[in-house]
Amino acid sequence: MTWNLCSRALCALLLPAALLMPLGNAAQAQVFNPTTFELDNGMQVVVIENRRAPVVTHMVWYKVGAADEPAGKSGIAHYLEHLMFKGTEKRAPGEFSEIIANLGGRENAFTSHDYTGYFQTIAPRHLELMMELEADRMTGLVLTDEIIEPERKVILEERRSRTENNPRALLSEQVAAATYLNHPYRLPVIGWAHEIEGLTRTDLEAFYETWYAPNNAILVVSGDVDPDEVFRLAQKYYGVIPAKELLPRVRPVEPPQLAPREVVMRDARVDQPAWSRRYLAPSYVAGENEYAYPLEVLAEIIGGSSTGRIYRSIVVDQSLAASAGAWYSPGDLDQTTFGLWFSPRPGVSIDSVRDALDDQIATLL
> Which residues are known catalytic residues?
81
Cα dihedral value 91, 94, 96, 102, nearest 10: -120
Q: Are 75 and 192 contacting, i.e. CB atoms less than 8 angstroms apart?
A: yes
How far does the chain reach from its first CA to its final CA, in angstroms?
32
Beta strands in the chain (DSSP E): 6-9, 35-38, 44-49, 56-62, 106-111, 116-122, 217-223, 261-262, 275-281, 321-328, 336-344
CA distance 96 to 286: 38
Instruction: Of 340, 188, 179, give the one whose Cα is nearest residue 261.
Output: 179
Count the residues in the chain. 365
Q: Are 305 and 258 contacting, i.e. CB atoms less than 8 angstroms apart?
A: no
Within 10 Å of residue 96's Cβ, how many Cβ atoms? 22
Q: Compute φ and ψ for 293, nearest 5 degrees.
A: -70, -40
Burial class (CB in 10 A: 0-12, 13-18, 19+), 344: buried
